[in-house]
Amino acid sequence: MIQCQNLVKIYKIDDDIEVMALQGLDLEVEKGELMGIIGNSGSGKSTLLNMLGGLDRPTAGKLLVDGKDLLRLSDRELVKYKLETVGFVWQNNARNLIPYLTAVENVELPMLLKGKYKRDRAKELLEMVGMGHRFNSKLNMLSGGEQQRVAIAISLANNPSLLLADEPTGSVDTKTADIILDVFRQLNRELGVTIVIVTHDTQLTRKMDRVVAIRDGKTSSEILRRSYYTEYQEEQLEDAEREEDTHVELAVLDSAGRIQVPRDYLDAIGVMDSNKLRVELEEGKIVLINPNGTKITV
C-alpha cells in the first residue's frame, strides 16, 4: 500500500535557512495493515503523514501509495487522490467537523464534494463507529470522543483504501482513547482498509501489530507483536504485564546501510561530545568502540 524510499523533505524557513524534516526515510506498509508511528516532537512523523495524505509534496526520494507516485501527480490528480484514495483524521476536531452541520451532514459533505450524495451510506458509517444514535447532533452536543468517532466516519465517506490519523486520541482521556482505537481496529478488520496512526500514547501502541519509530527524520526501529490483538483481547485478564513480553523491537537498516543507534546506548559507552566511533568486526559481530576504548557489540 505504501512504499517510501530515501524520502527527503526540506522546508525553507528563510532565504538562507532550511530545515530537513525527513532525511532519507525508508518505510513499507502492507495492504490491510494497522500500523502505528511514534517519535519525539520534531522527529518527522507528522511531516510523513502530511505527505502520505497529499497535503505536502516530498523534496526528493520515492513515495508510492496504492500504486500512485505522489511525486509525479499533477495538482488535479492530487485533488482526486485526496478525495478518493485517502481519508484523514486530525487531533483537533475543529479541522474534522463543521460545527453548524449535524453529524450525518458532516459525513455527507465529502460525498457531495465528489458528486455522490448517499444519506443511507452516511448513516451506515455513523452506525459502524457507534454513533447511530447521534445522526442529528451538532458539534456542541457531542463529547470529545463522540466528535472523534464522527470524524472517523467522515474520513471513510468516499471508501478510501488508506486511512491516516494524526494523534486521534490526543485530546481525550485514556478510556475514551481506548474506545477510539477499538473503532479503528474494527474498521480495519471489517473493511480491510489500511490504517496508519501517529501517536505518542505508548498504551495504544500495545494494541497494534506493528509500530514504527522515527528518529531525526529516519526510520530507526520497529516493534513487531508476537501475539496479535485478538489474542490480546482474549488474554487481557492475565494482566498487561504479559503484553510487555510479547514483542520484539528491531533496528532498521536503510538502503544506504545506515542504522540509528539509540542515544542511551551511545551514552553508555561515553559518546557524549563526539560524533566519531571506531567500527570493527569481531567473530561475526559488529562492534562500536569509543575512541577511549569503551565498546558495545552490535
- State the pLDDT confidence band at 272, using cuts at 50, 70 and 90: low
Predicted TM-score (pTM) of this structure: 0.81
Q: Please determine, for residue 232, whether its predicted confidence score (pLDDT) is greater than 70.
A: no
Q: What is the mean pLDDT of the chain?
A: 83
Q: Other C-beta atoms within 10 Å of 166: how many?
A: 21
Percent of the residues in the chain that have a pLDDT greater than 70, as a whole number: 87
Q: In the prediction, which pLDDT does 297 show?
A: 59
Q: Please determine, for residue 243, whether its predicted confidence score (pLDDT) is greater than 90.
A: no
Q: Which residue has the higher pLDDT, 173 or 130?
A: 130
Cβ-defined contacts of 46-52 (< 8 Å, 24+):
46/166, 46/198, 47/9, 47/21, 47/22, 47/217, 48/4, 48/7, 48/22, 48/214, 49/164, 49/166, 49/196, 49/198, 51/7, 51/9, 52/2, 52/86, 52/162, 52/164, 52/196
- State the pLDDT confidence band at 70, using cuts at 50, 70 and 90: very high
Whether residue 9 contacts residue 21, with contact meaning beta carbons closer than 8 Å, is answered with yes
The β-bridge relationship of strands 34-38 and 2-14 is unpaired
Q: What distance in Å separates the CA atoms of residue 11 and residue 79, rounded to the nearest whole number?
A: 22
pLDDT digits (tens, 9 = 90+) for 121-163: 899 999 999 998 989 999 889 988 899 999 999 999 989 999 9
pLDDT digits (tens, 9 = 90+) for 212-228: 989 888 888 888 765 54
| Burial of 14 from C-beta contacts in 10 A (0-12 / 13-18 / 19+) | exposed
- State the pLDDT confidence band at 235, using cuts at 50, 70 and 90: low
Q: In the prediction, which pLDDT does 178 show?
A: 87
- State the pLDDT confidence band at 295, using cuts at 50, 70 and 90: low
Q: In the prediction, which pLDDT does 172 show?
A: 79
Whether residue 101 contacts residue 67, with contact meaning beta carbons closer than 8 Å, is answered with no
Q: Which residue has the higher pLDDT, 252 or 126?
A: 126
- Please tell me whether residue 166 adopts helix, strand or coil conformation: strand
Percent of the residues in the chain that have a pLDDT greater than 90, as a whole number: 38
The β-bridge relationship of strands 194-198 and 162-166 is parallel
Mean pLDDT over 231-237 rounds to: 52
* CA-closest candidate to residue 53, choices 148, 180, 160: 160
Q: Please determine, for residue 86, whether its predicted confidence score (pLDDT) is greater than 90.
A: yes
